[in-house]
Amino acid sequence: MATDDVWILGIHMTKFGKHPDLDTIDLAADAALNALGDGGVSMKDMGVVAAGNLMAANAGIGQQLQKQLGQTGVPVYNVANACATGATALRTAIMAIKAGECDMGLAVGVEKLSGAGLLGGGGMAKADKKVYEPRGRYGSVATIDGRIGTETMPGVFAQVGMEYGHKHGGATFELFARISEKNHAHSTLNPLATYSKKMSLEEIMGDVMIAYPNTRPMCSANCDGAAAAVVVSGSKLKTLDPTQRRRAVKVSASVLTTDPWEEACQVLPNVNTLTRNAADQAYEQSGVSPEDLDLVELHDCFATAELVHYDNLGLCAPGEAVPFFESGATWRDGQKPVNVSGGLESKGHPIAATGIANIWEVCHHLRGEAGDRQIEGATVGLAHVIGLGSACGVHILESAAA
Amino acid sequence: MGRQVPLVDYLVLGEQPHLEANECTSCGARYFDRRNACASCGATSFHKAAITTEGELRAYTIVSMAAPGVPVPFVAAVIDCDGTSIRANIINTEPDPENVKLGMKVRLATYTVGTDDEGTEAIGFGFAPLEAPDGNR
């Protein structure tokens, strides 16, 4: 372990779901304390705290957390980066270690999202007297959501999947529903998932349509949850005890990208190019190739999104995502298991927690601690998140034995 | 007839309604909102460019659940108008997968969004199929 390596020493995710009796701080503190405990360290060891929360991004979640767990005076970075918020918090702590400012840091992501309903979209407030006046950067005189396309997340990501189908063929309503069927089947082995119920293809296709071709079970579940990770430098890790070293997971690549300008990227968010760029950089940084990956947790915020990311992450040949899925490769007993946690569609998507929870899932397998859903002998995994706007986080993780 | 205003400032009304982009004078990148600079090349000079009113459907969704006050279902889409991508609804056809086909040819159409308390009419736009699904124009 070279001194500039960064490792995950401790990591934890809370049960995802409804937590009516726990507030944001309770959830964040639960994840943080358990991550510290998992790593065998305490708040006093942390040289930096990076905290992510999207829905109350101005609340200073990091300092609130310190007030519950330990006000040690170290720098806090409160981050908000759409659905990549958790990955951004983790990467912030990693950067502090890489910069040599400290040798250990804590990253936390937390969200209270139960009952939040449809995200994105909406309109202007109604005035007493209706007089058309141009407002905003489009000079609009009335609500444009619903009149000029859709701002809702299920609708945006539906178009992303449909566009892929238009280019490469084969992406039918049924195919997208079968991706969802896979993830719901995987969730039955995950006790921390919001929903862990197997669903038949008929149930999925016959459920409430949200934005064709995404029915309700094909959309990520709004829920409460938190996840936290303790990261440590390679040189510090060498001084820790053998158990800590054995369970440590190497961060072989940590990448964050945004979308480079391309035609149409401000019309329909382009979730492809920045994911491809992040994946390319991550494979380059780590020396790992897609063939080496034992499991992948990717951002299936909607069933239509999972398909395009098979291609974007290089899990299949360009344009071949449909036959790749149809080969059965991405089921947990396939050659490239994807979202064995159940994915966002069943595990749930407490936005800022997701980017660390995905890494928790991968770490769990690399440590051989994933119980019934363990991918046997897993040594290398990839975790991917994307938030619109856009931001994409990709982390490649390797077990200490790898 | 009372005064008319476009729903958005990039819709140009008149004899031949069309959309108009802010085109970067330096690299040709096109934008529909008010610009500070070009996201592609950083230049700060733009001119207006008229967008062709016919195009091809590149992506769509049929939205069945939307924010309160937004009538559903509707077809949200991306239209490729000769290399310029447009966000718009598909209108003047049934919102179902039998009548909305990827790759189909569409043309800009306008409609009345509403009338305000001073009698001003807001005009919106969408894209309508050029041909009926059975091939008749």
Contact A211 B63 (CB under 8 A): yes
Closest by Cα among A301, A279, A302 to A290: A279
Residue in B31, B58, B71 closest to A146 by CB: B71
- Backbone phi and psi for residue A95, each to the nearest 5 degrees, phi listed first: -65, -35
Chain B CB contacts of A123 below 8 Å: 67, 69-70
Domain annotation covers residue A338: yes
Of all residues in chain B, the one with the smallest CA distance to A131 is B116
The first and second tokens of residue A72, run together, are 């040690």
- The overall longest dimension of chain A from CA atoms, in Å, is 72
Strands A48-52 and A76-79, bridge-based pairing:
parallel
* Per-residue pLDDT, A126: 64
* Per-residue pLDDT, A300: 98
Domain annotation covers residue A128: no
What is d(CA A329, CA A315) in angstroms, rounded to the nearest whole number? 10
DSSP state at residue A249: E
Chain B CB contacts of A176 below 8 Å: none
Contact B7 A149 (CB under 8 A): no
Contact A138 B61 (CB under 8 A): no
Residues in chain A predicted with pLDDT less than 50, given as ranges, are 1-2
What is d(CA A85, CA A7) in angstroms, rounded to the nearest whole number? 20
Summarised one tens digit per residue, pLDDT across range A26-57 is 999 999 999 999 999 999 999 999 999 999 88
Contact A132 B5 (CB under 8 A): yes
Chain A CB contacts of B85 below 8 Å: 263-264, 267-268
How close B64 comes to chain A (CA, Å)?
Answer: 5
What is d(CA B89, CA B77) in angstroms, rounded to the nearest whole number? 6
Omega cis (within 30) before B68: no
How close A127 comes to chain B (CA, Å)?
Answer: 11
For chain A, the domain total comes to: 1
* Per-residue pLDDT, B132: 63
**CA A57 → CA A14, A77, A111, A351, A387, distances in Å?**
20, 12, 10, 12, 15
**CA A62 → CA A31, A58, A298, A356, distances in Å?**
13, 11, 26, 15
How close B61 comes to chain A (CA, Å)?
Answer: 5
Question: In 10 A of CB A368, how many CB atoms?
Answer: 16
What is d(CA B34, CA A137) in angstroms, rounded to the nearest whole number? 5
- Burial (CB < 10 A; 0-12, 13-18, 19+), residue A18, is middle
Contact A132 B58 (CB under 8 A): no
**CA A347 → CA A59, A99, A159, distances in Å?**
26, 34, 23
How close B137 comes to chain A (CA, Å)?
Answer: 23
When scoring B8, B11, B35 by the number of chain A Cβ atoms within 10 A, the one with the most, hence best to mutate, is: B8
- Burial (CB < 10 A; 0-12, 13-18, 19+), residue A261, is middle
Of all residues in chain B, the one with the smallest CA distance to A216 is B65
How close A46 comes to chain B (CA, Å)?
Answer: 39
Domain annotation covers residue A192: no
Domain with A349, as residue range(s), is: 6-115+221-397
What does the DSSP assignment read for A71-88?
-----EEEE-BTBTHHHH
| Residue indicated by tokens 């309770």 | A26
Domain annotation covers residue A295: yes
Domain annotation covers residue A325: yes
Domain annotation covers residue A141: no
Contact A149 B59 (CB under 8 A): no
Residues in chain B predicted with pLDDT less than 70, given as ranges, are 1, 132-137
- A348, A384 contact by CB (below 8 A): no
Establish whether this prediction's ipTM goes over 0.90: yes
Residue in B85, B114, B122 closest to A267 by CB: B85
Closest by Cα among A209, A252, A213 to B59: A213
Contacts of A26 (CB under 8 A, 6+ apart): A19
Contact B34 A130 (CB under 8 A): no
Could you tell me how many residues make up chain A? 402
Strands B54-63 and B105-115, bridge-based pairing:
antiparallel
How close A189 comes to chain B (CA, Å)?
Answer: 31
Domain annotation covers residue A386: yes
Contacts of A375 (CB under 8 A, 6+ apart): A294, A295, A332, A337, A340, A365
Domain annotation covers residue A179: no
- A210, A156 contact by CB (below 8 A): no
Summarised one tens digit per residue, pLDDT across range A348-367 is 999 999 999 999 999 999 99
Summarised one tens digit per residue, pLDDT across range A185-229 is 999 999 999 999 999 999 999 999 999 999 999 999 999 999 999
Residue in B34, B58, B66 closest to A152 by CB: B66
As a dihedral over the C-alpha atoms of residue B124, residue B130, residue B134, residue B137, rounded to 10 degrees, the angle is: 120
Edge-first strand order for the sheet with A380-387 is A76-79, A48-52, A104-111, A225-233, A6-13, A249-257, A391-399, A380-387, A295-297
| Residue indicated by tokens 């069927």 | A181
Identify the CATH number of the domain in which residue A247 sits.
3.40.47.10
What does the DSSP assignment read for B76-92?
EEEEEETTEEEEEEE-S
Ranges of H-type helices in A190-342: 201-206, 234-237, 242-247, 273-286, 303-312, 321-326
CB pairs under 8 A between A and B: 165
Q: Which long-range contacts (CB under 8 A, 24 or more apart) does A243-248 make?
A: A243/A40, A244/A9, A244/A39, A244/A40, A245/A400, A246/A400, A247/A367, A247/A400, A248/A7, A248/A8, A248/A9, A248/A400
Contact A211 B10 (CB under 8 A): no
Chain A CB contacts of B97 below 8 Å: 173, 212
